[in-house]
Structure 1
Amino acid sequence: MRVLTAADLQQVLDFPSVIKVVEDAYREKATGEGTIWPMIYHEFISDQADMDIRSGYLKSQGVYGMKLLSWFAGNDAKQLPELNGTVNLYDDQTGLPKGIVNAAALTGYRTGAAGAVAAKILANPKAANLLLVGSGSQAIFQVMAELTVLPKLKTVTIVNVTSPAHATDLAQTLVDQLTTQFLPAINQSSDDYQRLAAQLNQLEVSASDNLEAATQQAGVIVTATPSTKAMINADWVKPGTHINTMGADMAGKQEVNEQLFRSANVYVDDRTQAAKVGEAQTAVKAGITTADQLPEIGELLAKTNDNQWDAKSVTLFDSTGIALQDIASANLALENAAKLNLGQTITL
């Protein structure tokens, strides 16, 4: 089997390809070709250290597997990464292990791709202004993924509610990071490469400490934070805006006001999971919606590929993260690595 590090993934994964396989995985969940099993979560220290295990089966690709990802906030002070874990894939005909992939690095790609899948079908395809709320490890992945599916994006505004200086630092280096980390993996003769290179060259990036004003100016909003209280009020969001809430993935987390679930057209990755630990959890507790009333993005994709943007409506995608994203992305990485003879092959 093959083992892939974070450095390997940077060479074998490109966002156009990852977005495609994640979109397919959502669709296959809806059609029954993909199955997810119950998530396991454990908190070692409240708000400081936890881990979760997500597992599932992608029949169309002939693989099943699981991801264990741990988060230890104190690791930063020890000069260690906060996120650590592995994705393990297995062949569905033999049960033999196919590969082990760095989960922390893969999570960036697959989570960015998840938001891009939603924006591709729900957001204004001519959206020019992106608001990113949060400036942590997910930030660069989210922006690059959105640029990949929204060719008219011209500006990115970054807001970090708890650390404005961190947003300013990221704004100064964002274009360089996107250019050096993600462009080289894309085929340089492809239309995607040429367009993204030009788009990055002209991209305007700034930081703001006025979240209300930034929200009102945005056509697409991505929230990627560990927030436990709403940062964006419902009445700040203008019609025609699309929101990806990417941060809520456990009980107690919240990024936007639950009243948005009254007015917005909402989609989730998994209705049961979203109602329990996603952005929808607060709205469910408030009686605004129920798990049964939350349509899944895969169900929409199984019906149509046509963009659903409506200038009079707000759309919201609640992403909690499902195993099929990890399995599809890890399988893509392993297959590309085999073609390029990258990574380390081992026998257990």
Structure 2
Amino acid sequence: MYIVPESAIADILTRRDAFEAIEKVFAAMSAGDAYNFPVIREAIGHEDALYGFKGGFDGKGMSLGLKAGGYWPHNLEQRGLINHQSTVFLFDADTGKVAAMVGGNLLTALRTAAASSVSIKHLARKDAKVMGMIGAGHQAKFQLRAALETHSFDKVIGWNRNPAALTTLADVAAEFGLPFEAVALDEMTQADVVISITSVFSPVFGAAHISAGTHVACMGTDTIGKQEAQTDLLAKATIFTDEIAQSVTLGEAQHVVAAGLKTRGDINELGAVINGAHAGRSADDEITLFDGTGVGLQDLAVSASIVEIAKAKGIGMEVDF
């Protein structure tokens, strides 16, 4: 078994590596070459923690395994650890023998950001110039960096309940030589692309905050009951997602489907756009929305890339297991 510890991930995985792995696995999912296993996610009754498993099998990339982990809300305040903790386990698809164990914390942040940037590449207007951010937590800076590497923007705007936290986004914009402006939610209509990255159960924005032709990526934590965007926006938008089954049960689409404003058949796979089976954006004034639910195959694809690079660089260790 090859072990790549959390401390080594930053020296191995680039945003480009993550982007390519996610784009390939979305395409494999849509082509029927890869599938996710049912998600297990439970409150464990200790430390207010949520713990679960995401896994799957990619028959094209030959990635088999799972990510185990969850959310410990008191970690940062009480222990100086990030609240999201996870580890990925890969298995040999031919024998079932454990093949690798990979630290999953930075990996999760980079693969989540890669998913939204893949959606920007395939669904945003080519002339999009203003990047909008809703939310400024730990994951937001990863999202913004990935977006700014995917598309050439002229300006970044952002909104957060606590405006003081927006300094982290301003710093990222400065890394790319771009101006940053903190805005009110009703000023988000300036944006050509919007990423929302919040963990709310009561929506913070809707159709009134999004202009015609905008691409929106809803990337906040997905679970039953969560909702970042009002149903009026999802009813108006053309919806794409990583996996339809998750989108309609624990993603943003769960609410618009429950309200009878859209059906499961109205939700499209982003992988179909990547494969050329779906045209994607059909008009410059169309609102497209990516419901990023976070699937186990994303973690496996990126982990497989990490292990390959780690072995080539002599990073990590191999143990007899």
Counterpart residue identity of residue 53, structure 1: F
User: Shift in Å at residue 205 of structure 1?
Assistant: 2.5
Contact 2:87/2:104 (<8 A) preserved: yes
User: Shift in Å at residue 48 of structure 1?
Assistant: 4.1
- Residue matched to 1:4: 4
Contact 2:156/2:173 (<8 A) preserved: no
- Residue matched to 2:134: 133
SS in 1 for 2:290: strand
Counterpart residue identity of residue 56, structure 1: G
Q: Structure 1 residues 229 and 45, CA, compared in 2 at 3 Å: closer, same or farther? A: farther
CA displacement 1:227-281 (0-9 Å, x = unmatched): 1111112122111100000114101111111111221111111111111110111
TM-score, structure 2 normalization: 0.94
Contact 2:18/2:111 (<8 A) preserved: yes
- Residue matched to 1:55: 55
Q: Structure 1 residues 347 and 86, CA, compared in 2 at 3 Å: closer, same or farther? A: same
5 Å-filtered alignment, 1:1-348, equals 1-44=1-44, 48-78=48-78, 79-150=80-151, 152-161=152-161, 163-167=162-166, 169-175=167-173, 200=176, 202-208=177-183, 210-213=184-187, 215-303=188-276, 308=281, 310-348=283-321
Contact 2:144/2:172 (<8 A) preserved: no
User: Shift in Å at residue 95 of structure 1?
Assistant: 1.9
SS in 1 for 2:202: strand
User: Shift in Å at residue 175 of structure 1?
Assistant: 4.9
More helix by share: 1
SS in 2 for 1:239: coil
- Distance (whole Å) between structure 2 residues aligned to residue 58 and residue 125 of structure 1: 31
- Distance (whole Å) between structure 1 residues aligned to residue 63 and residue 246 of structure 2: 23
SS in 1 for 2:286: coil
Q: Structure 1 residues 47 and 242, CA, compared in 2 at 3 Å: closer, same or farther? A: farther
TM-score, structure 1 normalization: 0.87
CA displacement 1:94-136 (0-9 Å, x = unmatched): 2222211111211111111110111111001232211111111
- Residue matched to 1:186: none
- Distance (whole Å) between structure 2 residues aligned to residue 116 and residue 129 of structure 1: 15
Contact 1:171/1:207 (<8 A) preserved: no
Structure 1 segments (4+ residues) deviating >6 Å? none
SS in 1 for 2:26: helix
Contact 1:9/1:105 (<8 A) preserved: yes
SS in 2 for 1:256: coil
- Distance (whole Å) between structure 1 residues aligned to residue 46 and residue 271 of structure 2: 33
User: Shift in Å at residue 318 of structure 1?
Assistant: 0.3
- Distance (whole Å) between structure 2 residues aligned to residue 156 and residue 344 of structure 1: 41
Contact 1:56/1:323 (<8 A) preserved: yes
User: Shift in Å at residue 320 of structure 1?
Assistant: 0.6
SS in 1 for 2:42: strand
Q: Which runs of 5+ in 1 are unaligned?
A: 180-199
- Distance (whole Å) between structure 1 residues aligned to residue 164 and residue 77 of structure 2: 19
User: Shift in Å at residue 5 of structure 1?
Assistant: 2.8
Contact 1:121/1:305 (<8 A) preserved: no
- Distance (whole Å) between structure 2 residues aligned to residue 243 and residue 45 of structure 1: 35
Question: What is the percentage of aligned positions where both structures have the same residue?
Answer: 27
Contact 2:75/2:82 (<8 A) preserved: yes
**CA RMSD of superposed structures (Å):** 2.0
SS in 2 for 1:254: coil
Counterpart residue identity of residue 18, structure 1: A
SS in 2 for 1:320: coil
Contact 2:136/2:169 (<8 A) preserved: no
CA displacement 1:200-246 (0-9 Å, x = unmatched): 1x2223333x1111x11101000011011111121221111000001
How many residue pairs get matched? 320
Q: Structure 1 residues 303 and 171, CA, compared in 2 at 3 Å: closer, same or farther? A: closer
